[in-house]
Amino acid sequence: MDLSVPRRNTRRPSKNLFTFHRQTEAETLESSRAAEIFQTTLQVLKRKARQIHTRDVMRSDILSCTAILWTHSIHIFVRQNPLWGASNTPLVRWLPAEYEDGEREPKGWNRGLLYNGYQLPQPRDVSKRILRSTSKPEDEDYSSLLVEWGQYIDHDMTFTPQSTGSAYFLSIDELSCFPPTFSNINTGKQDCKPFFRSLAACFVNFRSDIRVTLQRQQMNSITSFMDASQVYGHSPKLERNLRDLSGCNGKLAVNKQVKDVNGRAYLPYVSTLPSSCLQHPDGERVECFSAGDSRVNEGLPLTILHTLWLREHNRIAAALKHINDHWSPETIYQETRKIVGALHQIITMRDYIPKIIGTESFEHYIGPYGGYDPTTDPSASNVFATAAFRFAHATITPIIRRLNESFQEHEHFPSLKLQNTFFSPWIIVKGGGIEPILRGVIGTAARTVTPDKLLTEEVTERLVVLNVPKQMDLASLNLQRGRDHALPGYNDWRAFCGLTSINTLDDFTKVMRVSRIAKRILKLYKHLDNIDVWLGGLVESFLPGSRTGPLFACLIGKQMKALRDGDRFWWEAEGIFSQQEKVELLKGSLSRIICDNSNIKEVLADSFRFRKYPSGYIPCEHIPSMNFEAWREKKSPGMFQTLSHVVLALRHIGLSLSSNEPLQLL
């Protein structure tokens, strides 16, 4: 059977132009393969039906009534919402997808297709004319650690894998490559940046409209829950590989080749050697680090946060073992993982999110915790993963600062340009450990966003990605990703959030408060309804006390509420922790994590805040610590606790269980 798929567009970019992918696990690829086969089969059947009936046939027409009824009946045999929040399931859609063919062609695929009478501008043109910035103002209130935590916690909730463009997929999908083209100012010819589409996912909500079910969906390959999956992994194989099973102590595995000068642990190296991470030209090899998320080596601050949490797990595990020497290694591991997961939730929802969306938006969209709600879907939404939570890309600093114990420029390890730090863990091992960079993100002000100063050139002109021969443009990638995912436009999302529509240039100027940029955007897009949601949300003026405008505050707030209320293992949920344990957990902070797992002796009480050293810095002994006596147990854990650990482990590796039947799959 001929499985090639015709398309309206005549462009045929070679699949061999680029090699651009992050590490994607076999289970994810297999799941996506099924979705690709399904999509391709429907395309072939549609083409055959069109030839027979000499008319355009919707894919839903192809399926017989019997097949449709069978599809809709599947949910009868499935427990209540077991896949909500699970790994390798689709990102949920809060608004319908807007594919150019209604099914899978991304926005901008057919250059002749007009939107409100105009072509969509090329992402690279938008990047160069609107988004690129040569300078960034400093944030007077917050440190660079706030920015780094945003990336770190995002990697706990979303990971959208991309096609490799290879023939792995039976469809050999010509739509897999979708490079943003632009005019090269040096040659005058059309050029393009590397880009492959997000992997397809099989739709799992069979009670939806059948036409929606048959549309291309994008995958979240990790659990949506805020469960520290970037520490522990999201699959049984990965989780097992990250544990120190031979030690019988409930700890995570550490690097056996290198330690820091104080004997503290580093993350273990990846198993496949030599790894692809960059190396110092004159030193011994330092391989890529391994963690629960494959993106751990993308940037030095991200690697450092992973290192802190590896050490924190092992520190807590040792404390629990000391208090409860009758506990098995499995009990120690599971109880420690519960604590670490709770700390991720507390730091994010108490210390991070209110600073991002503002306290008023937090109260409006999230509000106080009212307990687990089994009707709330905690799955990550497409617009959150692809647009709203990418707001922080505009706050990335162009310089990675390395500071000494007095929070001044380090005498031996100078600050680095961002472009020279990607995928370079050797800088940590050979450059004084995690402390110089950690002091840098604590003791340096974050970069703030204004409509005329958005993304630094370090990420729009010099972004480095492993295995990609060209330097990348993060702004173009974000815009193109939104079109790949068929996200509706900026105005549609404002309507979704109950915000007023932007109908005129004056309306847009009021939202942005920078008229020349509003005019420049309208000149590019021609029509306000054509503006990409990521750009529109990014240029909105901040709400009071926030670092986002009203649209992103709404989308982030709604997502965070869903993640909290739809998680039956949320730290505040009934039966997860005792009241005494909750009191101790609330003492946890990122500042305390830093004190306990590094050689830094002075911090701010809230390390997301920025103050010039030594103003506001206090000795670590003045930072509250958890008392693990709250976890002391006089006898071995009973059957209920053991089963609870198993259920939590199942959720952690990608299976969400309904609270109505929490143990029936055991």
The end-to-end CA distance of the chain, in Å, is: 43
Q: Is the pLDDT of residue 652 over 80?
A: no
Q: Specify whether 304 is located in the same domain as 438.
A: yes
Segment 415-429 mean pLDDT: 95
Classify residue 526: in a domain, yes or no: yes
| Any domain includes 325 | yes
Residues 531 and 549 in one domain: no
pLDDT at 201: 87
pLDDT tens for 199-211 read: 988 776 655 567 7
Contact status, residue 501 vs residue 491, Cβ threshold 8 Å: yes
User: Is 515 found in the same domain as 589?
Assistant: no
CATH code of the domain in which 505 resides: 1.10.640.10
Q: Establish whether 155 is a catalytic residue.
A: yes
Note whether 477 and 406 are same-domain residues.
no
Per the domain annotation, does 150 fall within a domain?
no
How many domains, the chain? 2
User: What is the rounded average pLDDT for all residues in the chain?
Assistant: 85
Residues 32, 121: one domain?
yes
- Given the residues 21, 53, 75, 155, select the one marked as catalytic: 155
- What's the CA dihedral at 41, 44, 47, 50 to 10 degrees? -50
Query: What is the per-residue pLDDT for 473?
Result: 87
Judgement on whether residues 480 and 563 belong to the same structural domain of the protein: no
Q: Would 158 be classed as within a structural domain?
A: no
Q: Does 432 map to a domain?
A: yes
Give the pLDDT score at 225.
97
Instruction: Supply the pLDDT for residue 539.
Output: 96
Q: Which pLDDT score is estimated for 665?
A: 29
Task: Assess whether 475 and 445 both reside in one domain.
Answer: no
**Residue at token pair 């989780």:** 239
Binding site for heme b: which residues? 393
Q: Is 457 a member of any domain?
A: no
Looking at the structure, tell me whether residues 614 and 628 fall in a common domain: yes
Distance CA 276, CA 423 (A): 8
The Cβ of residue 71 has, within 10 Å, a number of other Cβ atoms equal to: 16
Dihedral sign, Cα of residue 401, residue 402, residue 404, residue 405: positive
Averaged over 4-19, what is the pLDDT?
35
Using CB atoms within 10 A of its CB, is residue 47 exposed (0-12), middle (13-18) or buried (19+)?
middle
State the pTM of this model. Answer: 0.86
Query: What's the CA gap between 390 and 382, in Å, rounded?
Result: 12
Domain that holds residue 239: 232-248+262-449+545-652
- Residue with the bigger pLDDT between 637 and 271: it is 271
Supply the pLDDT for residue 169.
Answer: 41
pLDDT at 184: 57
- Average pLDDT (326-341) is 97
In a domain, 64, yes or no: yes
pLDDT digit string, tens, across residues 244-294:
999 999 999 999 999 999 999 999 999 999 999 999 888 789 999 999 999
Same domain, 413 and 522: no
pLDDT of residue 634: 73
B/e letters for 452-474, b = 16+ CB within 10 Å, e = fewer, are ebbbbbbbbbbbbbbeeeeebbb
Please tell me whether residues 633 and 521 are part of one structural domain.
no
Domain boundary among 514, 539, 564: 539
What pLDDT score does 583 carry?
98
Residue at 143 is within a domain = no
Residues 437-476: tens digit of each pLDDT = 999 999 999 999 888 889 988 888 877 676 666 678 899 9
How sure is the predictor about 135, in pLDDT bands with cuts at 50, 70 and 90? confident
Q: Any residues with CB less than 8 A from the CB of 383 and at least 6 apart, and which?
A: 93, 94, 95, 487, 493, 533, 555
Binned at pLDDT 50, 70 and 90, residue 569 comes out as very high
**Type of residue at 487:** L
pLDDT at 133: 84
Are 530 and 565 in the same domain? no
- Mean pLDDT, residues 608-635: 95
d(CA 284, CA 577): 46
Domain end among 487, 507, 539: 539
Instruction: Read off the pLDDT band of 392 (50, 70, 90).
Output: very high
Q: Which of residues 116 and 60 earns the better pLDDT score?
A: 116
pLDDT confidence bin for 19, thresholds 50/70/90:
very low
Contact criterion met (CB below 8 Å) for 95 and 488? yes
Q: How confident is the model at residue 167 (pLDDT cuts 50, 70, 90)?
A: very low
pLDDT in tens, 101-127: 999 899 999 988 999 999 999 999 999
- 600 and 522 part of one domain: no
Residue type, 451: P
Give every CB contact of residue 51 below 8 A, 6+ residues apart in sequence: none
End residue of a domain, out of 539, 565, 586: 539
Say whether pLDDT at 8 is over 50: no
